[in-house]
Amino acid sequence: MRPRGERRSPVMADVAKAAGVSHQTVSRVLNDHPNVRAETRTRVLAAIDRLGYRRNLVARALVTRHSRTLGVVGFNTTLYGPASTVDGIEQAARAAGYFVSIVSLRTIDTAGMRDAIDYLADQGVDGIVVVAPQRSAARAFESLPRDMPAVAVEGQHVGEVSVVSVDQVGGARLATEHLLNLGHRTVWHVSGPSDWLEAEGRIEGWRAALQAAGRTPPEALAGDWSPHSGYAAGRRLLAMADRVTAVFVANDQMALGVLRALNEEGVKVPEQISIVGFDDIPEAEFFLPPLTTIRQDFAAVGRSSIEVLLRQIETGHECARERLIVPPRFVARASTASPR
């Protein structure tokens, strides 16, 4: 029994009574049915607001066969890029009127992907967005049910799944060409982990820009996205300081480590060595000096991902595979200059 004095939550019948309409009319308004007069719709919505009515989403899902919930599978969301991508997807989904259920995995493998997808499928999600920045995600996508609408973000080689990604190659070319245009003879590179598609694209763009300028790319210095690995790469660059005047670093956190290593040895940036990062993390403009970098539009990635997924949901998963590329933007600050 309901405790005495406790107010029960309003139900659809209460809304119908308050608005002076039938239960069916309230249902039509809630489901945005076109055959409802504007005056009636306004009266029903006013009653909903006045009573504080909240619709039963489970019951609605049984009727419409849509839960208005999307699943998101993310990987290593402690990193700025994956975390910002998931946030952009969530914001875009909510703006489209969908709830979001998120599963965050530390590693990408078939077993983990299968568990995540089973978990989301049990919740009755209408579709899934998978943030798939590592090459191993290609095999993991085999776990997706054939009838499940799905989009991969930063994924490649994932069969018939639609993909939305930032132009990593183009962004790296922007960074490298900027340094070459300043007059640097060559540009060194601190790369991300080899199994990350983003790192792979940034290496490709860096090499392509150097080769287009008639320069032989030097050996890339491997990092793992962390400031610590950037610091280690910076120490290696110091050993070659007589040959190094410009460095493109694959993300801003590693660029911070490079800056620290150079600063410890009294090497001035940009007077002696110019640095360009990638991502434009919120702290980048407060580095010393403020970091020139490449900005990824995570909000645009989120919007595009949700738009592609909703097209699949609305057409019964029959639309053609899509591949959308979001352009990055060059952000000039004080960490680059012409060589002496």
CA gap 314, 324 in Å, rounded: 19
What is the per-residue pLDDT for 179?
98
Q: Which of 86-90, 179-183, 321-325 has the highest mean pLDDT?
A: 179-183
Is pLDDT at 145 greater than 80 in this prediction? no
Angle at alpha carbon of residue 298, lines to 293 and 300, rounded to 5°: 120
Question: What is the arithmetic mean of pLDDT over 33-58?
Answer: 78
Contact 201, 160 (CB under 8 A): no
Region 31-43 average pLDDT: 81
**Whole-number Å distance between alpha carbons of 206 and 195:** 17
Would you state the pLDDT for residue 240? 92
Answer yes or no: is pLDDT of 172 > 50. yes
Which of 65-69, 123-127, 268-272, 335-339 has the least mean pLDDT?
A: 65-69
| Average pLDDT for 200-213 | 97
Please, what is the angle between helix 12-19 and helix 23-30, to 10°? Answer: 110
The pLDDT of residue 254 is: 98
Span 83-87, mean pLDDT? Answer: 89
Of residues 103 and 247, which shows the higher confidence score?
A: 247
Give the model's pLDDT for residue 316.
72
Return the pLDDT at 286: 97
Q: pTM of the prediction?
A: 0.78
- Paired strand residues for 330: 294
Which residues 6+ apart lie within 8 Å of 136 measured at CB?
108, 109, 195
Taking residues 4-31, report their average pLDDT. Answer: 77
pLDDT at 340: 83
Judged by average pLDDT, the poorest of 6-10, 32-36, 216-220, 332-336 is: 6-10
For residue 328, whether the previous peptide bond is cis, meaning omega lies within 30 degrees of 0, is no
Set out the domains of the chain in order of their start, with CATH numbers.
Answer: 12-55 (1.10.260.40), 69-166+298-326 (3.40.50.2300), 168-296 (3.40.50.2300)
Distances (CA, A) of 8 to 1, 2, 44, 49, 101: 11, 8, 20, 16, 28
Identify the DSSP state of 292: B
Partner residues linked to 104 by β-bridges: 74
Q: What angle do CA 95, 96, 97 make, to 5 degrees?
A: 90
Lowest mean pLDDT among 30-34, 84-88, 209-213, 319-323: 30-34
pLDDT band at 45 (very low <50, low <70, confident <90, very high): confident
Instruction: Render pLDDT for 50-60 as a digit per residue (tens, 0 to 9).
Output: 887 765 544 45
| Least confidently predicted of 37-41, 103-107, 255-259, 302-306 | 103-107
CA dihedral 135, 196, 163, 104 (to 10 degrees): 90
Give residue 279's pLDDT: 96
